[in-house]
Amino acid sequence: MRLLLDTMIVSALCTPRDPSHGEISGWLRLLAQDSTEELTVMLPEIVDYEVRRGLLHVARRHGRSTTRNLQRLDELTRVCEYCPIETPVMRRAAELWAEARVRGEPTDHEEGLDGDVILAAQAQAVGGIVVTENVRHLGRYVEAKSWRDVGPRED
């Protein structure tokens, strides 16, 4: 099973001070230790971009070149398999974007890049499940589940 982490999940992993964010970190640790299930946790390039740009914006606003949260994101790229964006993925994302608008179900404004369709196209390309807190939006395109519904849980 391939699990692609969504932006909210990666943001939580990079900013663990919030108690719910700590729960997500614990979930990922348990997932990494679970040897009964064959799975790959993936960090999609579009998600890295969305989280990184936000963290860089905060750092620059405070006059810094980096932050501990940016370091956490870099560490995550060593723990998860990195899923780069390739041309076929971007072409599929454009199709998903257009199809969503024809159906009247866009996930972003008309001029927006729409990271959701890019992430969905990446998940389709690798046959993966998107781990997200935005199951409703991403579920239009690809199998999507809450982190609470995937893998091991602390009981």
The mean of the pLDDT values for the chain is: 87
Helix%, strand%, coil% for the chain, nearest 5? 55, 10, 30
Give the per-residue pLDDT at 113.
Answer: 65
Residue 155: is its pLDDT beyond 50? no
Question: 16 pLDDT band (50/70/90 cuts)?
Answer: confident
Beta strands in the chain, from DSSP E residues, in sequence order: 2-5, 40-44, 81-83, 129-131, 144-145
Give the per-residue pLDDT at 137.
Answer: 84
Give tens-digit pLDDT for 100-109: 889 888 776 6
Q: Can you list the domains of the chain with their CATH numbers?
A: 2-84+128-149 (3.40.50.1010)
The single-letter code of the amino acid at 21 is H
